[in-house]
Chain A
Amino acid sequence: MIKRLIDKNRTIYATLMILVGWLLLHYSLNSAVVPHPLAAINVFLSLITGSLWPHLGASFARIFISVVIAVLVGTTIGLWLGLHERYDRLFGPIIYLLFPLPKIAFLPIFMILFGLGNRSKIILITVIIVFQLLVSIRDSVKGLNQMLFYSIQSLGATKWQSYRHLILPAILPKLLTALRISVGTSISVLFFAENYATTYGIGYFIMDAWIRIDYLDMYAGIIAISLLGLLIFKGIDLIERILCHWALLEKGNQESYF
């Protein structure tokens, strides 16, 4: 009964649990650094109708543009490498070396090359998440069963038809999973990137509140950025439900091992 209730209202359940944890932390620490959750929510609600919007909008735009560029570039290169063994042999090792590199440390270079404005921020986020997308697309293409390729070729499929009926539908669930991880990463990077040369963005808002020692405002900002992340996650879920119904069926058939 309770299990079913949780299954049906997962987001509400998670929100309540986090609020309870927050409340416990608030009472046990008894410090202004962890305010009462309801107080923070109150401030958030009063700000969301006004001054928070431009910040949220700026942050969302930066994430959205970065993710779109990273998906296009990452998918294209990932497919190309995954489908052509000889190029992967050439570029695979280089990507392997570049992947764990802390690209965020090159921020000064991006700032000098692309300016202090949105361009360097978007490029920073893109460069960081494109590797996650690229590698997971490449590996999922490589993992495709040869029999599927033979099957579709035997039906007379051209290269483009193989993309349409086999390759793209096969990688879509993996792409969405990679996208979830990337969105998480991009929000953290965004917070960092919005700490210089801007007065718009939720990262700036949080940092500004921090400097003003206005912890309630800071928490309102954290709530806002969390909701933004949640909204993007829900969007990805929706795409998955519409386009990858089959993959969800496969997931549903897996029992837990322990």
Chain B
Amino acid sequence: MRRLSFGFGQTAKKGSVNMIKIEQLTIHYHQTCALKELSLAINEHESVAVIGPSGCGKSTLLLAIAGLIKPSQGHISINQAQVCKPRASTGVILQEYGLMPWKTVQQNVALGLQIRHCPKQQIKQQVQAILEQLHIAEYADRYPIQLSGGQQQRVAIARALAIEPDLLLMDEPFSALDTIVREELQQVVLGLYRVRRMAMLIVTHNIEEAVFLGKRIIIMQPNPGRIKTVIDNPYFGSEDLRSQLAYHEMCMKLRSELERVEHD
């Protein structure tokens, strides 16, 4: 096995294309092999969607990139620094939003900055700006339980963005929402992706979501979790994508690929 050792805190070389490098990643989880020898590279400011049936290890992959679970074998590096704990500029949005029920919207969004010991005044300004950007400023003093699912997810997005990430990881962020709210938030995320120079990885089981938010779509298969196919999505980010025929053709293509995984 090749051993790569990178210095910590090393800054990215200018012009380096690969931001995330995953090599031969294997993860054992509760006695099962969740991921086996998976290799993948993601560029700066690239948007990748990961899709696959349950048990294919797509959430495990995301948690490993986030530094929340440790690889059994192999390496993950981001900007040449090996990931062994959560990285300061990786934003993470998890299923069921992960908001603290005892904190108001404002306090939830401020949490990342508070943990970083930012000055109070700066936190206040930054939080206010991001709340306004996501149209949730009027709910600043409410608790998560007082909000709808869509509003809660906006708070989760705001919290992840407040730390100004260069990488945003999302694990089935919109799976609990109805179609209209889901598409609205997908649009929000796409808009934020365009404005901010960040890479994005979204794990989903929703075909339309993968096509809408993934410039590259990675299809995974289970037992053990590994990559099946990678599809390039040239239609990513085009205007009015949802009303274009090509979008639906792409969805059909992805659907047939996924069905092949299920039948393997």
Contact = CB atoms under 8 A, between A and B. Distances in A.
Interface of A: 145, 147-148, 150-158, 161, 165-166, 169-170, 172, 244-247, 249-250, 253
Contacts of B146: 249
Secondary structure at the A interface, as helix, strand, loop or mixed, is helix
A153 B100 CA distance: 13
Closest 6 CB pairs of A and B: A151-B98, A154-B92, A169-B102, A155-B112, A147-B98, A246-B143
Given A153-B68, A154-B86, A155-B115, 17 more contacts: A148-B100, A150-B63, A150-B66, A151-B99, A151-B100, A154-B66, A155-B111, A155-B163, A156-B116, A161-B115, A169-B100, A169-B102, A170-B102, A246-B101, A246-B102, A246-B143, A249-B145
Please classify how large the interface on chain B is, using the bins under 10, 10 to 19, 20 to 34, 35 or more.
20 to 34
A150 B94 contact: yes
A154 B68 contact: yes
Contacts of A250: 101, 145
21 contacts: A147-B94, A147-B96, A148-B98, A148-B100, A151-B92, A151-B100, A152-B100, A152-B115, A154-B92, A155-B111, A155-B112, A155-B159, A156-B86, A156-B112, A165-B103, A169-B103, A172-B102, A249-B143, A249-B145, A249-B146, A253-B145
A245 B115 contact: no
B102 A247 contact: yes
Contact of B96 (A145, A158, A161, A166): A145
A172 B100 CA distance: 14
Contacts of A147: 94-96, 98
Given A166-B100, A249-B146, A152 B111 contact: yes
A165 B111 contact: yes
A230 B114 CA distance: 39
Nearest to A173: B102
Contacts of B252: none
Contacts of B115: 152, 155-158, 161, 165
Most buried by B among A244, A245, A246: A246
Contacts of B63: 150
A244 B63 CA distance: 31
Contacts of B82: none
Nearest to B111: A155
Nearest to A166: B100
Contacts of A245: 143
A239 to B, nearest CB: 14
Contacts of B100: 148, 151-152, 165-166, 169
Contacts of B96: 145, 147
Nearest to B102: A169
